[in-house]
Amino acid sequence: MDSTVSILVLAHVEPDGALARPALETFTAGADLAKQLGAPFVVGLVGTDTASAASIAAGCGAARVLMVNGAAFAQARYATDAAAAEAIARASGAEIILAAGTSRWMRVLAGVAERLGGCIDTHITRVVAESGTVSIARWYYRQRIEGVTSRTARPWIMAIEPGTHEAFAGAAGDVTAEPVAVSLPELRSEVTGVRSPASGEQTIRPDAALLLVAGAGWTKKQADGETHVPEAESLILGCLRASQASLGGSKSLVDLSGEGQAVLPFMTHLNQIGQTGSSPRHRKGLATCCHGEEPHVVGWRFITERRAVNLNANCGWAQGKTDVLYVADAFEVMRKVNEKLGKASEDRPREAGRS
């Protein structure tokens, strides 16, 4: 036990004052680490309205809550976010600083570490303390190797990978948050709006239980010698709407869409799973019309239960890369799946009415 270690959990609040899931996951990581070290932890909040986030931090067991409030901190901006994080870190005197690896924090935390004379590690999936020694785990080489690191340099900033911890969901508590003064440099940038990638439909849902992956086979000539892209589109979108799954794609498929061909227009490079794509975390995954080559499957590292539908019994998935391979026509399978999903959603209100 090392009760001398001081821990800070940094979080930015959303424009409505809420804490997003990655922040709540970092609360869990901070509370667990504090418990293991027998040390208290402090929460530092940045945003316009931090009152409700402060109560949640208190409910999670924070000994103190520090806050940087004000309109200037509503927007993600390097100058204001870095100054706020630095001021909170100095006010807390913390040696270990945890923050969610959100795009907002990832832009500024390395700079904050430099200002504090400390160090930083990112994409952290686990933080543990054994006999008072704190170590972190993260994956390297596109999720193929897991490394465990311990450092003596302090302060040590840890950016926690979203999706790796349970989000804190306990009751709120009482706390008097302490304001921290920040001296801001001249502000030269302003966020004037948010532009999302062109995509007609919300298809990436990091919190979904299921990842539905579409491969290039959906756009290929089928047994009748024709392509059936409009039907492929309606089957994939039908499944997404009914199941609220997240949509992934193989590189071959997203490249086709990116080249402006009339194929699955809702597929962007953001959907790409794999070595040069992403490695999302979902409980289940279903690959359809996707061959299951290693550079693609490496992105399935964090999918717990895997199934694939492919016409080819010798496809990559059959080489031990999936729990279940259905050697079948994905068009037929997905028609049936969507029928069942539609029926299930029709049944749901009736069942609710009965109980």
Residues lying near ligand FAD in the complex (CB under 6 A) are found at: 215-217, 220, 222, 250-253, 272-277, 289-291, 293, 295-296, 299, 309-312, 315, 329-331
How many Cα atoms are found within 13 Å in the side-chain-facing hemisphere of 107? 12
Distance CA 298, CA 212 (A): 16
CB of 300 to ligand FAD, least distance (A): 10
Is residue 256 within 8 A of residue 215, CB to CB? The reply is: no
Nearer CB in complex with ligand FAD: 60/216: 216
CB of 266 to ligand FAD, least distance (A): 16
| Order of strands across the sheet that contains 324-327 | 246-249, 210-214, 282-288, 303-310, 324-327
Nearer CB in complex with ligand FAD: 210/216: 216
DSSP secondary structure letter of residue 251: H
CB of 244 to ligand FAD, least distance (A): 23
Nearer CB in complex with ligand FAD: 168/331: 331
DSSP letters for 26-47: HHHHHHHHHHHHT--EEEEEEE
Question: How distant, in Å, are the alpha carbons of 237, 334, 335 from that of 234?
Answer: 5, 10, 10
Nearer CB in complex with ligand FAD: 114/339: 339
Give the distance between the most distant pair of CA atoms in the chain: 72
Nearer CB in complex with ligand FAD: 102/272: 272
CB of 126 to ligand FAD, least distance (A): 25
CB of 143 to ligand FAD, least distance (A): 11
Ranges of H-type helices in the chain: 21-37, 51-59, 78-92, 103-116, 229-243, 251-258, 294-297, 330-354
CB of 223 to ligand FAD, least distance (A): 8
Nearer CB in complex with ligand FAD: 80/219: 219
Question: How distant, in Å, are the alpha carbons of 64, 226, 229, 249, 277 from that of 220?
Answer: 59, 8, 8, 15, 22
Nearer CB in complex with ligand FAD: 148/324: 324
Is residue 209 within 8 A of residue 96, CB to CB? The reply is: no
Nearer CB in complex with ligand FAD: 2/329: 329
Nearer CB in complex with ligand FAD: 30/274: 274
CB of 203 to ligand FAD, least distance (A): 16
Is residue 280 within 8 A of residue 211, CB to CB? The reply is: yes
Structure tokens at 153: 């340099």
Structure tokens at 294: 């290693």
Position 108: which residue type?
A: V
CB of 215 to ligand FAD, least distance (A): 3
Structure tokens at 60: 């999670």
Nearer CB in complex with ligand FAD: 104/251: 251
The helix/strand/coil state of 214 is strand
| First-to-last C-alpha distance (Å) of the chain | 50
CB of 154 to ligand FAD, least distance (A): 37
Give CA torsion, residues 309, 312, 317, 319, to 10 deg: 150
